[in-house]
Chain A
Amino acid sequence: DIQMTQSPSSLSASIGDRVTLTCRASQDISHYLAWFQQKPGKAPKSLIFGASSLPSGVPSKFSGSGSGTDFTLTISSLQPEDFGTYYCQQYKSYPYTFGQGTKLEI
């Protein structure tokens, strides 16, 4: 199985900051990487797919990059609504696997 490792596990940032979250795959997954945002008591929400594509309705303050084994999610100009936990997921091959998450505190 492909292992996904996220760093850091938690991050504290201020309003207006730009933050970068990292996700590393244990083997080459090309661009088959998604990012999700989750808030307490809610289902995950799709932020990025294909490593860098934004679903309709996701603000451009979110951006993803990377390919192969190393990926990043960047959030610019942090706002209070951006708090939550962020997960990466690979869908290069079954079983699909998630990272352990990065908890972002404002």
Chain B
Amino acid sequence: EVQLVESGGGLVQPGGSLRLSCAASGFTFTHYDMHWVRQSTGGRLEWVSAIDTAGDTYYPGSVKGRFIISRGGADNSLYLQMNNLRADDTAAYYCARFRSSGNMDVWGQGTTVIVAS
């Protein structure tokens, strides 16, 4: 079964750091671009980062310089290192598989990050 499972969310103070993980199974992980998308409590979806099959990475201005996306080696995992966290980073974070056709077809169940003192 093709599956993505996120972990690593939690409560963190402003200025703190957190590392999210996304475990992939059921498909050849290295053949796909992988993305992180977040959703605030207000419901708005925001694309957070992407890493392509060549290892190139992409970020929106809101997280660039603070977040780092990476892939594991043999462990079929995607990571999001989040530094200097702010209250507006509070959200549910989803990892997603992105096919070359443009279909973001597989999503994890999400992990929640709360940034508060």
Contacts and interface: CB of A to CB of B under 8 A. Distances in A.
Interface of A: 1, 32, 34, 36, 43-46, 49-50, 53, 55, 85, 87, 89, 91, 94-98, 100-101
B47 A95 contact: yes
A95 B61 CA distance: 8
A94 B110 CA distance: 22
Given A43-B110, A49-B102, A85-B43, 11 more contacts: A36-B45, A43-B107, A46-B104, A53-B101, A55-B103, A89-B47, A91-B104, A95-B47, A95-B58, A95-B59, A96-B35
Contacts of B104: 34, 36, 46, 49, 89, 91
A49 to B, nearest CB: 4
Interface in B65-117: 94, 98-99, 101-105, 107-110
7 contacts: A1-B61, A44-B45, A44-B107, A46-B103, A49-B101, A85-B43, A97-B47
Contacts of A98: 44-47
Nearest to A51: B102
